[in-house]
Every structure is written in structure tokens, then in C-alpha cells.
Chains A and B, each alone.
Chain A
Amino acid sequence: MAVEAETIARFRDGDPEAVRAVYREYGRLVYSVAHRALGSRELAEDAAQQTFVQAWRAASSFDPGRELGPWLATIARRVAIDIHRREQRREHDHLDDAAPTERALIAEPPDIERTFEAWELRRALDDLPPDERELVELNHLQGLTHTEIAERLGVPVGTVKSRSFRAHRRLAARLGHLRESTGREPNEPTIRTDG
């Protein structure tokens, strides 16, 4: 997943087609990062918009040799923190009345440190074939069993199981990459697959 240097150069110039190209490549990922930090569709959209505007303003300082995604994720994280703080201030105009554990006094949104894990996982999900992605969504997001998924999709349970194993093998390969690239695990990834 990458945007060509020529597109980035046109993005820097504000070329609408280049802006659309960058958004289509990274928009859902930026939005996912913002939503994870803010927990609100509206605030996440506001954050995503601010992220791309700030990226455009700062594009002249971006090294075309780097990958654009992590750079955008960093901006999205910072924007989300700013919006989170703003919203907390708005909800608690009188901080003297707030308890010490009040969220308004906490600088960081919840789970923000896991932003990059979610980012990588979202990329992995987006790379799955549609039928496998749907199955993973039914399994994890909706909490359905293999039998329930088979009924929902109208396919044999055996098909669901084999498709599920294949999908999770692909994800596992990406998760192994995640642990390696973020330095969370200094050793070789323990999941080795051909996915």
C-alpha cells in the first residue's frame, strides 16, 4: 500500500485529484485511528478532515522516501488528542468541581498507545479478500460462531472453518510483521505462515 511520489508532490500543491488519491488510500485508516481515540463518528470525521488539512500544510517537510501512512497516523493521533482535550474541556467548564480521576484531567484519550496496532490490523483486514473479511467481521465484531456464520451465509460449516482458518492465517502473518516492526518483540515473529 503506497502512494507514488508524484502523487504526493501533487498533493502538496493541493491538486484535488491527488488529495482524492491520498484519501482513498489512507482515508479509512486515518478515520479508524481517529475513531478509536475519540469513540464518535462525528468527532472522528472532524479529526480526519483536520488530519488531511494539516498533512497538506506540512507536506513540504515530508520526505518522499518515507511511507505516507505512518506519517498520517502520527498527525491523526495528535489531532485526535487535541480534539479529545477540547471536548473534555467543553464538558467540564469548572475543573474545580471535577474529581481527580475525572477524564477531563487526563491528557491522553484512552488506548491511544495502541493506535499503531489498530492501524496495522486495519491494513491487514483491508487486504483480505472480501469473503474472508466478512467472515472475520461476523466472527469477531458480531461474535457469531462458525455454525451461526454458516447459517447466515448459507454455506456448510466446513467451508466456514476452512475459510476462517485461511483468513486468520493471513492476519497472523501480518500480526507477526506488526510485532517485528514495532519492536514489541525483539525476536523473530513466532507466527510463521505462508499467508
Chain B
Amino acid sequence: MNSDDDRISYLAGDPAGDLDADEQAELDEFRALLADPSLWVEPAIDLEARIVSAIAAEAQPPVTARPPAKVINLDARRRRVGRIGGIVAAVAAAAIVVVALAVVRQDGDQGTEVALAPTQLVPGASGSARVFAESSGLRIELNATGLPRRDGGLYYQAWLKDAAGNLVPIGTFHDGDHVTLWAGVALADFPTLTVTEEQADNDQGSSGRRVLLGTVETK
């Protein structure tokens, strides 16, 4: 057996034979790497879909409504409601073709609206949130449909996320019907709202299993 065969055999777990200490140490490094579970771990099946959705969400330019009217009277409000209805209809149409498209509408005390698009985890889900600035922080009224109720230690959690990926938890809930969330950060700094599937496992971090996603255009 030549030296190469000795090295290959040692790599495979056989005794060192004629290998010197340096050769053994060098091969031991690779044996340690081969025994490292991180080398063998496989990502979640839905990770591909999440990545495709995340890039699609950023690749599509956000649709921004006209600025809020400065003069408020009944006639103007009626006209604005009509325009808003048209905008909402346009947004609904856009949401059908865009995987994850965020829509913002700022309308004074009506708050800022964020459209939430589904991911591949629950493709039939949809939702929206309306964000109000209160003295104590942001109050976020979320409504989602198509999300199966989660009980028994399972729940949904909503987050605000900044451009660097930092997450701020803003509340947990069983289902998406009339959910009130609170945030102590600025929407301009944390413009992305996500909803994830979670479980009571003493892990305070996000599971990464996003079911709804939307980004606020703050320009």
C-alpha cells in the first residue's frame, strides 16, 4: 500500500499506519468536518419558495396611492372614498398577479394600509393591516383570511422587519380575524410586516415560516 492509499484509508477511519503526525493532523481536520452535522443538514422544503417569493416581492415596485387630501369636507370625503375604492380595486387586481406586493395608502386618521400577500406555505391566505400612530406606539389592525386557526401551543406571530433583517415581535394570535397588534418602532425604520407560524417551544426567535408578507412604501 502506498502513501496515498494510507491517507485515503485513514480518512475512511482505518488506523494511521505509516502516516506521520502532521499528515494525521491534516486529515483529522477533514474527518472532523465530515462528522459535523452542519455539513449534512438539508434546508426546509419550502425554503426555495420563500426565497422566490421574497425576491419577487422586492422585484415588483410598490404601488403608492395619491397623497392625502389637505382640505376635508363632506363632498371631498365622498369623492375621496370613491377614489379610494378605485385604488383598492386596482390593488386587489394587482395582488392577484404579484406574489408578494405591498400597498400603502395614507389617509389621515384612517391610518396607513398595508396589503399582505401569501407565501407558498399557505397560498390561499390573504390579508391587510392598517397602521395607526398612537401616543403609546403603533397600533396595527390586521385582518387575514385563509389562515387555518392554530391552537394547542401553536399560534401565529406578527413581526416588523427592517432592511437589515432585524425583527421586532408585535403580537401573537390564533387566527387572523380582527387582530390588534402594537409596535414600539417606527414604520419608516421597520417597513416590512410579516406573519409566521410559531409554537410554544421556548424559542423566542422567528421560525422563518412566513405565511403573509407586505412592505410599506414610506417615501
The 9 closest A-B pairs by CB, nearest first: A14-B59, A140-B34, A36-B38, A31-B43, A168-B12, A35-B38, A45-B208, A52-B51, A168-B11
On whether the beta carbons of B33 and A83 are closer than 8 Å, the reply is: no
The segment from A18-26, A63-71, A100-108 that touches chain B is A18-26
SS of B interface (majority): helix
B81 interface contact, C-beta 8 A = no
What residue in chain B is nearest A122 (Cβ atoms)? Answer: B39
On whether the beta carbons of B165 and A141 are closer than 8 Å, the reply is: no
Besides the contacts A49-B51, A118-B38, A190-B3, what 14 more A-B pairs have beta carbons closer than 8 Å?
Answer: A23-B52, A36-B39, A45-B50, A50-B165, A56-B58, A86-B165, A117-B29, A140-B31, A141-B34, A168-B11, A172-B4, A172-B7, A190-B23, A191-B8
A87 interface contact, C-beta 8 A = yes
B75 interface contact, C-beta 8 A = no
Q: Give the distance to chain A from B70, nearest Cβ to Cβ, in Å.
A: 36
In the docked arrangement, what's the CA distance between A26 and B10, Å? Answer: 30
Interface centre among B34, B35, B166, B206 (most CB of A within 10 A): B34
On whether the beta carbons of A139 and B43 are closer than 8 Å, the reply is: no
Chain B 20-45 interface residues, beta-carbon cutoff 8 Å to A: 23, 29-31, 33-44
Contacts of B218 in A (CB 8 A): none
Contacts of B11 in A (CB 8 A): 168, 171-172
B54 interface contact, C-beta 8 A = yes
Contacts of B52 in A (CB 8 A): 16, 19-20, 23
B186 interface contact, C-beta 8 A = no
In the docked arrangement, what's the CA distance between A131 and B79, Å? Answer: 70
A42 interface contact, C-beta 8 A = yes
Contacts of B59 in A (CB 8 A): 13-14, 56
Chain A 23-48 interface residues, beta-carbon cutoff 8 Å to B: 23-24, 27-28, 31-32, 35-36, 39-46, 48
In the docked arrangement, what's the CA distance between A179 and B139, Å? Answer: 56
B164 interface contact, C-beta 8 A = yes
Q: Which of B12, B38, B44, B166 makes the CB contact (< 8 A) with A164?
A: B12
In the docked arrangement, what's the CA distance between A92 and B95, Å? Answer: 41
On whether the beta carbons of A137 and B12 are closer than 8 Å, the reply is: no
Given contacts A35-B41, A56-B55, contact A49 B50 (CB under 8 A): yes
In the docked arrangement, what's the CA distance between A36 and B32, Å? Answer: 13
B56 interface contact, C-beta 8 A = yes
Given contacts A27-B47, A32-B41, contact A16 B56 (CB under 8 A): yes
What residue in chain B is nearest A55 (Cβ atoms)? Answer: B55
Per-position 1/0 for A113-147, Cβ under 8 A of B: 01001100110010000000000110111010110
On whether the beta carbons of A141 and B40 are closer than 8 Å, the reply is: yes
Number of residues from B at the complex interface, CB < 8 A: 43
Given contacts A52-B55, A114-B33, A121-B34, contact A24 B48 (CB under 8 A): yes
In the docked arrangement, what's the CA distance between A191 and B6, Å? Answer: 10
Contacts of A76 in B (CB 8 A): none
Given contacts A49-B47, A193-B8, contact A86 B39 (CB under 8 A): no
Contacts of A20 in B (CB 8 A): 48, 52
On whether the beta carbons of B165 and A82 are closer than 8 Å, the reply is: yes
On whether the beta carbons of A19 and B166 are closer than 8 Å, the reply is: no
On whether the beta carbons of A42 and B54 are closer than 8 Å, the reply is: no
B145 interface contact, C-beta 8 A = no
Interface centre among B12, B30, B44, B47 (most CB of A within 10 A): B12
In the docked arrangement, what's the CA distance between A41 and B88, Å? Answer: 39
What residue in chain B is nearest A161 (Cβ atoms)? Answer: B12
In the docked arrangement, what's the CA distance between A143 and B32, Å? Answer: 11
Q: Give the distance to chain A from B38, nearest Cβ to Cβ, in Å.
A: 4
Contacts of A190 in B (CB 8 A): 3-4, 7, 23
B67 interface contact, C-beta 8 A = no
